């Protein structure tokens, strides 16, 4: 019997965030699947990613959850174009004074989302085996 497991990665530092970034590069994200819950300080992103940890390059639906987000800033993203898809290139992190800036960079020229937080708390969790 061939058992299959769904991935769950928890990042609490820059190295863990780098691992999540590597797993999620080239992922497809619809604008409608990006949700910022301001009162809860959570950003949720549903994405379709290539399961790079397996050798057969299958697609899997995953959720990235960013906790303790104080502020979100987006550039060159039309939030009214809910069906528009973006391709995630990388997730990077920069420390500025006493806060972190988590930057999600997309393939479309000069398109990114910046998250401002005091701590790094990011979860990547697969939702199903394949799409």
pLDDT-derived band at 7 (thresholds 50, 70, 90) equals confident
Answer whether residue 131 is part of any domain: no
Q: What is the pLDDT of residue 103?
A: 97
Distance CA 31, CA 11 (A): 24
Distance CA 124, CA 126 (A): 7
pLDDT-derived band at 87 (thresholds 50, 70, 90) equals very high
- pLDDT of 3 over the 70 cut: no
Q: What is the SS3 string spanning 24-38?
A: HCCEEEEHHHEEEEC
Answer whether residue 13 is part of any domain: yes
Q: Work out the burial of residue 70: count CB atoms within 10 Å of its CB; fewer than 13 is exposed, 13-18 middle, 19 or more buried.
A: exposed
Distance CA 87, CA 21 (A): 12
- pLDDT of 54 over the 90 cut: no
Distance CA 32, CA 80 (A): 9
- pLDDT of 115 over the 90 cut: yes
Answer whether residue 2 is part of any domain: no
Q: What is the pLDDT of residue 1?
A: 41
Q: What is the pLDDT of residue 4?
A: 59
Overall average pLDDT of the 95-123 stretch: 94
Q: Which domain holds residue 60?
A: 8-126
- Please give the tally of structural domains in the chain: 1
Answer whether residue 19 is part of any domain: yes
Indicate the DSSP class of residue 45.
E
Give percent above pLDDT 90 in the chain: 73
Tokens of 19: 């691992």
Average pLDDT of the chain, as a whole number: 90
Predicted TM-score of the model (pTM): 0.89
Q: What is the pLDDT of residue 53?
A: 75
Distance CA 50, CA 64 (A): 14
């Amino acid at each position: 019997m061939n058992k299959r497991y769904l991935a769950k990665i928890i990042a609490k530092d820059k190295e863990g965030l780098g691992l999540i970034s590597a797993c999620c590069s080239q992922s497809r994200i619809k604008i409608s699947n990006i949700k910022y819950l301001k009162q809860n300080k959570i950003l949720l992103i549903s994405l379709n990613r290539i399961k790079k940890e397996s050798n057969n390059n299958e697609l899997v639906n995953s959720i990235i959850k960013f906790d303790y987000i104080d502020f979100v800033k987006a550039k060159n993203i039309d939030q009214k174009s809910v069906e528009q898809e973006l391709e995630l290139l990388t997730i990077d992190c920069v420390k500025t004074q006493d806060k972190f800036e988590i930057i999600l960079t997309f393939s479309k020229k000069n398109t990114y989302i910046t998250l401002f937080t005091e701590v790094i708390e990011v979860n990547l969790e697969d939702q199903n085996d394949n799409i």
